[in-house]
Amino acid sequence: MRYYLFIPALFVLAVLQSSALSWLLPFPVRPDLMLLAVLSWGMIAGAHQALLWGLVGGLMVDLLSGAPLGLTIIALVPVALTALVREYSVLESNILAVLLGAFIGSVLFYLASMIVLQSTGTRVPWGETFLHVLLPAAVVNSALVPVAYIALRSLGERLWPEQLIAVRED
């Protein structure tokens, strides 16, 4: 039962992303809290868990967004799969894997979002979006991912230790 606490936690995160964060950081590009949560949890508990978080978190973000419903869920799928970088031990260093994962995950997240937006008839200026949104967001997310990773790991050890043990046994 305690495992399902992640649902209200993701809801709080989505609300923060759409309210407090935009007032606290009134910049054109803000960190993507849901992306950071999904990616960090993926690095901690594996891609399967991250996919579940991406489904729930993406739905919550989409409900609060003016973008088509499903856009964030789709965009979070490659982010969740980025956790495979860690699962297959592509990199020895944990923190390097997390940083690289955040950068690659952010790029994939925005590329997927842009493709979905374009396919739903929204005008997407690719070059401009790449330079002024995708790259800055990838840098901001990479800079913040260590904080999210450490916070989620400590939270996970307290709230969902069984999930972490299962991953370690795999």
Partner 1 sequence: MPRFVLPVTLVLAVAIAGVVLTEHGRTEGPEGAVLRIVRPVQSAVSDGATPVGHFFRSLFRAYSLDSENERLEQRIGELQSQIVHVSEVEAENERLRALLGYTESNPGWTYLPATVIGRDPSNLVQSISIDRGTNDGVREGMVVVASGGLVGKVTRALPTVSKVLLITDTSSAVNAMIERSRAKGIVRGGVSAGLTMDYVGRAQEVAPGDIVLSSGLGGGFPKGILIGQVRSSAGDDLDMFQQLDLESAVRFQILEEVLVITNFEPTELE
Which residues bind to partner 1, rule: CB under 8 A? 14, 17-19, 22, 26, 28-30, 32, 34, 61, 64-67, 71-72, 110, 113-114, 117, 121-125, 128-129, 132-133, 137
Nearest-approach distance from CB 89 to partner 1, in angstroms: 32
CB atoms within 10 A of CB 65: 14
Nearest-approach distance from CB 70 to partner 1, in angstroms: 13
Nearest-approach distance from CB 10 to partner 1, in angstroms: 12
Helices (H) and strands (E) in the chain, counts: 10, 0
Residue with tokens 């929204």: 122
Cβ-based nearer residue to partner 1, 17 or 82: 17
Cβ-based nearer residue to partner 1, 34 or 97: 34
Measured distance CA(115)–CA(110) in Å, rounded: 8
Taking Cα atoms as reference points, which of 79, 78, 34 lies closest to residue 57? 34
